[in-house]
Amino acid sequence: MPTSPLLTPADCAVLLVDEQAGLAFAAGSQDRQVLRSNAVALARTAVAFHIPVVVSTSASKVYSGPLMPPLRAVLLDVAPIERRSMNLWEDEAARNAVRATGRNTLVVAGLLTEACVSFPVLSALADGYRVFVVTDACGGLTVASHEAALRRLEQAGAVLTSWLQFLLEMQRDWTRHDTYEAARSIVVDHGGGYGIGLDYARDMIKPT
């Protein structure tokens, strides 16, 4: 068990499950464009901090479609692992890919919260992993079913977080220059008013 309650890039792996358009169509728990933006922000955070990423898809040629294009553009070196089971943990190739990262803390997001997110989270917890669920990069069929699934995961021992909290936890200090520009650009592109504020602050400190 880590001595600090805060994560570092060396602690964790990011697991993206079924971030596919066909499933996003069914997600009614939040605005779909925001949901996709949040997933891309999480993926960009993993890349910026050199965190291993495992991507899995299902029914990509039948119903769900491939990994969404903005995620493919960010994760150029990550090949999605196609599976048949709703529970990623029951797919040997996907489970072995997670284990191959060598990380015991998983940061998970995907679609839909009620099944393809919940099932591997519960299974990974039972296998002794520490699991964080990025709630705003997960989509459920309805607000009520999404929140019910999250409550079940939290009761089982998962920690709930957001993509922005995860990014800031990785950066921790804005004087860390090696990741500053990448982290700042993610917030500017995906962080709403906070991103606008960062642009404003840069203009005020270094006027063009």
Query: CB count, 10 Å around CB of 143?
Result: 11
User: By CB neighbour count within 10 A (0-12 exposed, 13-18 middle, 19+ buried), where does 30 fall?
Assistant: middle
CA-wise closest residue to 16 among 185, 190, 166, 182: 166
What are the distances in angstroms from CA 198 to CA 72, 183, 195?
27, 11, 5
3-state secondary structure of 1: coil
* Catalytic annotation present for 12: no
The pLDDT of residue 50 is above 80: yes
Q: Single out the catalytic residue among 116, 131, 137, 153.
A: 116
Domains of the chain by residue range: 12-172
Where does the pLDDT of residue 2 fall: very low under 50, low under 70, confident under 90, or very high at 90 and above? low
Where does the pLDDT of residue 3 fall: very low under 50, low under 70, confident under 90, or very high at 90 and above? low
Instruction: Tell me: cis bond preceding 112? Omega within 30 of 0 counts.
Output: yes
Reported as a single tens digit per residue, the pLDDT across 177-200 is 999 999 999 999 999 888 888 888
Any alpha helices (H) in 80-176, and if so which ranges?
A: 92-100, 118-126, 143-156, 163-171
Superfamily for domain range 12-172: Isochorismatase-like (3.40.50.850)
What does pLDDT average to over the chain? 95
Give the mean pLDDT of 54-60: 97
Instruction: State residue 34 phi and psi, 5-degree precision.
Output: -65, -45
CA-wise closest residue to 153 among 129, 167, 132: 132
Between CA 24 and CA 33 the distance in angstroms is: 9
Q: Residue 21: what pLDDT?
A: 96
The pLDDT of residue 204 is above 70: yes
pTM equals 0.94
Where does the pLDDT of residue 12 fall: very low under 50, low under 70, confident under 90, or very high at 90 and above? very high
Rg over alpha carbons for the chain, rounded to the nearest Å, is 17
Q: Residue 208: what pLDDT?
A: 56
